[in-house]
Structure formats: structure tokens, C-alpha cells
Structure 1
Amino acid sequence: MARRTSTRTTVAERSAADEESKDAAPPPSGDALKLLTRTGRKRTASARKAKKTGAEHALRNMSEIRHHFRTSPQPVFFVGATAFNLLGLDRMVRGFSYIVYYDAWQGMHPRVFSPHDKPYIEFESGEHINNWLLRNAEVRAHIARRTPPGLRPQIVMVFFDRETEEICEELGYDLILPSAELRERLDSKIVTTQLGNEVDVPSVPNVLTTVEGWSDVKAAAKKAKLGTDLVIQTAYGDSGKTTYFVTGEEDFAKIAGDLVGVEIKIMKRINNRPIAVEAVITRHGTIVGPFMTEITGHRQLTPYRGGWSGNEMFPDVLDEPTRKTAAGLVERLGNRLGQEGYRGFFEVDVLIDTDTNDVYLGELNPRISGASAVTNVTAGAYADVPLFAFHLLEYSGVDFELDVAEINERWEELASEDEWSTMVIKHTQATVERINSAPPTGRYVVAQNGALVFSHAELDWHLLNNEHEAFYLRVYGPGDYRWKGADLGILVTKGRLQTPRGALTIGATHFIDSIRAMYSVTPLEQRAPARSEQGKAS
């Protein structure tokens, strides 16, 4: 399963003269110019749509923006394996709904649609799942029913590719994300590092190079004064699988086949604390969301060393000076990505050097991520609008005014008063089992006797009040199979799940053990064919 999950955005309805008059970014060239030309055509169409829907002036404040989302008939469909990433956004966006492969509510959620006829397919990726859904006849009929005359359905998703773009173009859907070509380029850890360097967003001390053997690695590290304890990354891939720790020739020899002859990033190894943050690039600047720690590598949750298993947001994730430094880093990076033609939602991993407190750019994920589930339910989201709503605003075809600096300052203050956590619970044993019964999706509470019990069915986690209750979104149910690494479900609670030292709290282990105990299974002698984990909860 991929660690993250994000999305893209585009500006809306500005003339070429208006764009040239803005001083936020230099004129684009090359691929960026081609991208902006294409998005310019979309903006013209969006402007015509805005006139049809009666938008007579720019949205001038948060009240008008909230009113727009509560009244706009524009249908927006989130397509994915599950609804996890943006679940609950439909509370504030009238036209927002979900199309999923795995229906956690078994048809009882009024905004979640899943096709009835789902023959067995061994999906290879999240993109494969999404493209299958878009082609499905039941899904296409559902989108047609939910789309008012004169409007085009808008599609958002975590994972997509050029095939997705071709499907949407053929069907008359607007895929309101930056192009797959641009996303693929920005997904490169090499490109991210280079763009960050241009705007004073530093990475951990490093050198970008190609090598033919250990002697080249040693020479490059010595020249860049990186020491002998090194971290090496390739341009693409999940950092958990394409990040290598090397201290000598013997270590390098084991991984040389993946590193020789390709561009790599050689870094100094530091003691660090990873922090996740999401942001949205708008025409008025980059809005930065709340900072969160990551839940990674706990054996009770995942069989994969270093595997991402969730996020925590709490008041003192970062002290004030560090938070301001990190927010400035993310804002500068976002504005630089905007110069590349990128608009909308993205996620950044920030690394805090625990020895020096220096703040570094870790990794860019140009898409919706697993952290989105928390980002969109924060105090800032309820005071204004959810962070992802600013992404939708960029593609809405409606002009709007924003004081980005004021929003960032207010959200920073509000984030210091909120607390949320999520964790993905996987099957950790090397067994294959048929699920006979499983805990249902809904609200769970810790009873007076200490037991975790099912309270009632619920649509999302937005009404949770404290750390003694949780929302569990089930992925696999009765009749499905579970195997090593399979997502069983995602638990969300309004409280901490890790201690200050990074261990799971007693309350977290109680949640995990209780949920696991609610499954009854039949072991199988042979491994059952497994659908792809890609894109479920990331």
C-alpha cells in the first residue's frame, strides 16, 4: 500500500492579461506553458459555467465561500478503493459524493456508491482500481443520474494516470487535478530537491549524482562532507522501499543493482522526526494545513518495517518557532510548484533534526494523502472550510478573494487547540484466512467495564468527542480474505495514540486488540488471490 495519498489543482477564469499582471510568479516556459494553455481553455469553460450558475461577483469572504459550497449544484465525485481520504467532506460541500470499490456501509451511506456487479479482478495498483470504476457501466449511469443538465461531472482521486485522463476526456468528465505528466515529474525526489534549493527550502545535506560503484559513492560523499553514515534514495518510489541506509561497501553491494547508472540522492544520515503537513496552492498563494506526526512501523499495526500506519495531530506537535519555520518552508515550496503550473492539494514530509532542531524538506507527495482524513476535520476546517475545499474552489469556475497570510495565521492558532489521530490496522501474520464475521463500520465506545463496544452505525468520524470513543471504517468484511499486509480497516479517534517517545499508548493497543478480537476467520491452506492494497487507506 502506498504511503500517501494527493491531488492537483488549477486556477480558474483569468484572462491572459490578468495573469501577466500578477507578480506572484515569473512567466512559465516549456512544459509549464503547455500546461497553462490547456488549463486556460478549462478556465474559459468554467467562466461560462459560472455565468450559468449566477455568480455575479467574486466570492469576497469565508461566509460567501461557505455559502457557495452549501448551495452549488456542481457534482464532484471522489473515486477510490475506499472513501477514507475525504470522508465527511460531503457535510460541507453539497455536491460532493463518493464512488468506491469497497463499500464499508453496505449500501447504507447516502453519499457512497459502489457497483453491485464486481467480478474478481486482481488489481495491480490504485490507478487500476480507479480506471476500472470509471469504465464500469453502473458507475457511469450513477454519475449521469447525479449530474444536473448543463453541468459536467468533476472527478477527484488519489491515484490516476494518463489512461485516467483519456477515460475522463472520452466520457465528458472534468478530472480536476494537475496533469499526470506534471505530477509524475514533481513526484521525483531529485526534482523536489532541486526546486526546493531554488527557493531556499533546504533538504538534509546531500549530493545529486550518478555512480558506477562504491568508490563513486564514497568520493561524492567526501566532497560534499556528508560523512560515512549515508542515506541513498532513487528518484521514484515509496520512500520505505527506495531509501537505503549505507555505511560501507558491503551495504552498497547488496543494493548496487538498484542504484548504479541512475540518478540518486546521497544524504547525510541524521536523527530526525518526520512531520506531515498538507497544503493547497491557490491563485492567491499557498494555504498551509496543520502539522502532524506519523505513526510508522509498529508491529501491532503493520508487518512492514517503517510502514506508514497513520497520523496524529495535537497542540505541541512542533514548538512555535519550529512551526513557523516549517510553515514558511512549505509555503515557499508551494509557491515554487505553482510556477511549474501546479495548482491544488499536495502533502509534504518535513524532517526535524532532533540534534540541531534544523528543519528540512523530506519528501513531496503531489496528491491527496492519508493525512487528509485529519486535515479536513480540524478546528480550522470548521471555522472556515475544509482545506480540500480550497482545491475545489480553484476548479470551480468562480472567482474568489483570499487573504492567504491571514488564513495561515488563524489556522496556526486554531491548530493549537485540536487533537485527532488515525491508524490503519493491517493483518500482520503470514497467514491467509477467510473472514466469517468482522466489526461493522461505525462508532465504538469504551464501556464502564473497560471493553470496547460497538455503539451504532455512523457515516464518518466528525461527531467524535473524546479519546474514549472511536470510528472504525471496515475495509474487508465477511466473505473476503485477509493475508499478510492486507488492510483490515482504519480507526479514527479524538486523542493521542503514541507516547512522546513514539511508542503506542496503552489506549491505542486496547483499540487494536479489541478490533482484532471482533474478527472470526477460517484459515486456508493455500494463499487466496489477493486484490491490490494500493490506494485503500493511503
Structure 2
Amino acid sequence: MDLEIELKKLASANAFFYVALDPERALGVEDILPNYAIICPYKSWLTEELKAKGISVFILEEEAGLMEAEKIAEKGSYGILQSGIVREYIQFRCAGSNPAHMNVRGWTPHIVVLKTSFLIEDFCKKQGWNLLAPKADLAEKYENKISQFNALKCIVPYPKSYTTTAREVYEKEISYPFVLQFNRGHSGNSTFFINSRADLEDVYKLYPKREVKISELIKGTPYTLNCLVLKNGKALTGSLSAQITGLDAATNNPNTTVGNDWVLPRKLDSKTADEIQSIAEKIGRELSGENYRGFFGIDVMAEESSGKIYFIELNTHQPASVSFEARIHRAMGKSPLLAYFLMDSGVAEVNAAVKDLPPFILPIRARQIIYRNKTERVINREEILEKYADKHFASRMTRIKPNEEIWREQMLEGI
């Protein structure tokens, strides 16, 4: 497939707006997809680089000032979409006639966000915009730890697990160590490795009445895989990567994911790799059966002692490595998941030829590490510029809370 030709066909009757706090998430096809615009709150070295290349970037800070941009960004992508100047920009690009802005003259806007919500879904519907995301109720059902477990426990190989309340766990005899998870969380803040009674007591005090999932602690290597469910029900997969978690140089939280290593999966035998791919396909079929469309990511664990593969969790938003993977796959002459995701928004059915698909095991060396704020305070833009300006992908935000991303290191063989 000639990706550039196919994307130009798509753009002849469609306009795409990727709305994100971090413009890096929108990268991957921006240079070959006409009528693709990135909407973000703050200007940065990245936004300046994109504009210099002719990419359409709408920056709230430039249009409304820093204080207003920060106020809008407090509500995330939903707040950005709600902004009057953003609505005007989207309407202008889709209904205007100024050729300098590459307007597409009356076509419905397609809105892309990193993670959907009921508020975003409802707002886009009221505006008459086409939101390219799974339905919010399905995304929530399969994102939350306990409802996800209840839906998938008969389909995929979880470690020994059960649901109960924090109080019941605290009040009964239980063997250590184990993993305790609350229903909702992000970047490891709802997952706790319980090694002793003292650990359990600390967590119990947080929310004693809440439902929790208790799982056997599996020691081994975690892997992550980006996936996509198309309208035709087919599930596509990206390239398997080893999950880098709790790296001391990058975070203080041992449960926080800080990157991906695409080299380590080469050590897996073909049977194990096929098993992981089979898990992704099973989940894809399950999601498709409920009319789920869009990205999802899975985490699995290869047990150190036995090599057995255990399913750990499912994420129903665009995984953080999708944009980097898109650049990796395009460098290899393959069509990335991001391209298939956007093409699937068109009328024609996407037919993904095997020769164009990303390889399940990447044959070239690639790695990504996210270095997070390891202090207990908020880091502001001035400090970012002073200390991290020379870093690869220094943060595009103006304030970074503890354990949020400061800078991102991306390495690809030959580049």
C-alpha cells in the first residue's frame, strides 16, 4: 500500500483534528496527511518545529495568552474542545474558503483525542463532530480494573485473582506477597504490591470499603502491545515491546511504567510470541462484539520460572507509544496503526495487507524512556527550560506535578 496516496485520498473529503495536552501524541502521519491539524495548549520547541515543516498547529497560548491557555488546559482535552476559539478554528477550517489554511469546504470534522470520556463524547455529538474514539461507556467498562476482570476472566489467562473489599482482605488471613488494585487508576497509582501486613494496613486506611482486585504476584518480564479494532471487526497489532517499569532514574514509583524496549522481545520463542498475539486477538474479538472501535493496549507478563504468559490488564485509550511506533514503522516502509485508525474513519472498508502491517517482533533496535518528576513539588516551565532544554522531547507542559513526565528519550537504530 502506498500510504501517502491512501491518506491523500482520505483527506480529499475529511478533516482531522488531534486535540491533546501534549502534541507529541499526535505525531506519526502529520507530514503526509493533508487536512490534519494538531490542537494543543502551549507553544514549545516541538510546536515550532512542526510549524516550520508546514504542519497545521493551533496553540491556545498564542491565540489566547498563557493564563487563559492554562485555565482551559485544566480540564484536559474536554476543556480545549469547549474553548470558543477552538470551536471557531475547527469550523473555519471545515467551512471556510481561504486556501492558505487548506480548508476542506464543508466536511464533518473528525476529532481525535488520547482518551475519550462521557463529557467529550456528548460535546462532540452536540457540535455535530465525528469523535474517533470507542464509546465512552465501553472504554470505561474495559479500562477499570474490576469491571475489566469480570468481563475478560473467562477469555484470557489472568494470574489467580478474585474481587473483594479492602476491609475483607484486611480482616482475614492472607499469604504475602500479592497485588492489590482499586478499580480506577493511572500510571500505577491504584496498584499496590503488598509484601507485609504493614503494607496492607497503609492501603486499607486509604479506602477501607472500596472493592479491590487481589491477584497472585507473578515475577517475570512485562510486555506491552498496541492494538486496534477496525470497523470490520479485525484486530491489528503493533510491535511487541518489553515494558520498562519502576526504573530508578526515571521515577520514584516502582509501579509506574516509564518506557518501552522493542529489543528484548526478540528473545521470545515463536510459540510464546504467538500466544501473546492470540491474547490480543481474543480481546479484539470480544471488544468488537460490543461494537468497540479504536485503539487498545494490553500488558502481559512472562513468568520468570515457567515462561508462562499471564494477562495483566487492558487499556482502552491510545497507548503512549503509538506515535513513536508510527515513526518506527514508517521508517521500515510499513503502515502504522495510527494510519489504519484514521483511514478506518472513511466510508471504505480498510483492507490491511499482510505485507504492509507492522512486524510483531521489531527487527531493528528501538527504545523509549519517560523520565518523570521525582521531586515532591511542581516543576514550572522556567525550570524545565533551564535544566532540560537539551533533553530529547523535553516536556511541552508549563507545570509538571510529581511523577508526571519531564522529558522523553526516544532511540531508533539508524536515526
TM-score (norm 1): 0.65
CA gap 1:78/1:476 in 2 versus in 1, 3 angstroms: closer
The alpha-carbon deviation at position 417 of structure 1 amounts to 1.4
Q: Which amino acid aligns with 1:490?
A: R
Q: Which amino acid aligns with 1:251?
A: D
- 2:218·2:301 contact (CA, 8 Å) conserved in 1? no
CA gap 1:257/1:441 in 2 versus in 1, 3 angstroms: closer
Q: Which amino acid aligns with 1:235?
A: N
- 1:441·1:473 contact (CA, 8 Å) conserved in 2? no
Q: Distance in 2 between matches of 1:86 and 1:441?
A: 22
Match of 1:418 among 360, 364, 369: 364
Q: Distance in 1 between matches of 2:238 and 2:383?
A: 41
- 1:439·1:474 contact (CA, 8 Å) conserved in 2? no
Aligned twin of 2:220: 272
CA gap 1:286/1:228 in 2 versus in 1, 3 angstroms: same
Q: Distance in 2 between matches of 1:161 and 1:144?
A: 22
Instruction: Select between 126-135 and 70-79 the one with higher mean Cα deviation.
Output: 126-135
Aligned counterparts, 1:400-439, within 5 A: 400-402=350-352, 406=354, 411-412=358-359, 415-430=361-376, 435=382, 438=385
Q: Distance in 1 between matches of 2:355 and 2:149?
A: 27
Aligned counterparts, 1:119-198, within 5 A: 119-120=66-67, 128-147=75-94, 148-198=104-154
Q: Which amino acid aligns with 2:20?
A: G
Aligned counterparts, 1:330-409, within 5 A: 330-379=280-329, 382-402=332-352, 406=354
Aligned twin of 2:234: 285
The alpha-carbon deviation at position 299 of structure 1 amounts to 3.3
Query: 1:103-150: CA deviations, max 9, x gaps?
Result: 323545233220221453697998812122112233223222322223
Q: Distance in 2 between matches of 1:286 and 1:125?
A: 35
CA gap 1:435/1:483 in 2 versus in 1, 3 angstroms: farther
Q: Which amino acid aligns with 1:494?
A: L
CA gap 1:285/1:229 in 2 versus in 1, 3 angstroms: same
Q: Distance in 2 between matches of 1:144 and 1:367?
A: 26
- 1:344·1:394 contact (CA, 8 Å) conserved in 2? no
Aligned twin of 1:519: none
Aligned twin of 1:83: 23
CA gap 1:216/1:481 in 2 versus in 1, 3 angstroms: closer
Q: Distance in 1 between matches of 2:72 and 2:299?
A: 23
Q: Which amino acid aligns with 1:120?
A: M
- 1:232·1:266 contact (CA, 8 Å) conserved in 2? yes
What SS does the aligned partner of 2:238 have?
strand
- 1:476·1:487 contact (CA, 8 Å) conserved in 2? no
Q: Which runs of 5+ in 1 are unaligned?
A: 1-61, 222-226, 443-453, 455-470, 497-538
Match of 2:181 among 223, 226, 233: 233
Q: Which amino acid aligns with 1:289?
A: G
- 1:291·1:317 contact (CA, 8 Å) conserved in 2? no
Aligned counterparts, 1:210-249, within 5 A: 210=165, 212-214=167-169, 217-218=172-173, 227-238=175-186, 240-249=188-197
CA gap 1:407/1:349 in 2 versus in 1, 3 angstroms: farther
The alpha-carbon deviation at position 94 of structure 1 amounts to 2.6
CA gap 1:125/1:198 in 2 versus in 1, 3 angstroms: farther
Query: 1:251-280: CA deviations, max 9, x gaps?
Result: 322222445443321111121211111001
What SS does the aligned partner of 2:38 have?
strand
What SS does the aligned partner of 2:152 have?
helix
Aligned twin of 1:493: 411
Aligned counterparts, 1:69-80, within 5 A: 69-71=7-9, 72-73=11-12, 74-80=14-20
Q: Which amino acid aligns with 1:285?
A: K
The alpha-carbon deviation at position 154 of structure 1 amounts to 0.5
- 2:191·2:255 contact (CA, 8 Å) conserved in 1? no
The number of aligned residues is 393
Q: Distance in 1 between matches of 2:192 and 2:384?
A: 40
CA gap 1:118/1:161 in 2 versus in 1, 3 angstroms: farther
- 1:299·1:428 contact (CA, 8 Å) conserved in 2? no
- 2:165·2:208 contact (CA, 8 Å) conserved in 1? yes
- 1:427·1:488 contact (CA, 8 Å) conserved in 2? yes
Q: Which runs of 5+ in 2 are unaligned?
A: 95-103
Q: Which amino acid aligns with 2:365?
A: E
CA gap 1:183/1:474 in 2 versus in 1, 3 angstroms: same
Aligned twin of 1:205: 160
Q: Distance in 2 between matches of 1:255 and 1:385?
A: 44
- 2:165·2:211 contact (CA, 8 Å) conserved in 1? yes
CA gap 1:246/1:488 in 2 versus in 1, 3 angstroms: closer
Q: Distance in 1 between matches of 2:153 and 2:401?
A: 43
Q: Distance in 2 between matches of 1:146 and 1:433?
A: 33
CA gap 1:346/1:425 in 2 versus in 1, 3 angstroms: same
Bigger RCO of structures 1 and 2 (CA < 8 A, at least 6 apart)? 1
Q: Distance in 1 between matches of 2:293 and 2:370?
A: 29
Query: 1:307-363: CA deviations, max 9, x gaps?
Result: 322222126263322211111111111111111221111111111111111111111
CA gap 1:384/1:299 in 2 versus in 1, 3 angstroms: closer
Percent of aligned pairs with the same residue?
A: 20
**Which structure has the bigger radius of gyration?**
1
Query: 1:57-77: CA deviations, max 9, x gaps?
Result: xxxxx34x6533123231111
The alpha-carbon deviation at position 204 of structure 1 amounts to 1.1
Q: Distance in 1 between matches of 2:29 and 2:215?
A: 39
Q: Which amino acid aligns with 1:316?
A: R
Instruction: Select between 369-378 and 485-494 the one with higher mean Cα deviation.
Output: 485-494
CA gap 1:416/1:136 in 2 versus in 1, 3 angstroms: closer
CA gap 1:399/1:88 in 2 versus in 1, 3 angstroms: closer
- 1:272·1:352 contact (CA, 8 Å) conserved in 2? yes
CA gap 1:484/1:183 in 2 versus in 1, 3 angstroms: closer
The alpha-carbon deviation at position 485 of structure 1 amounts to 4.0
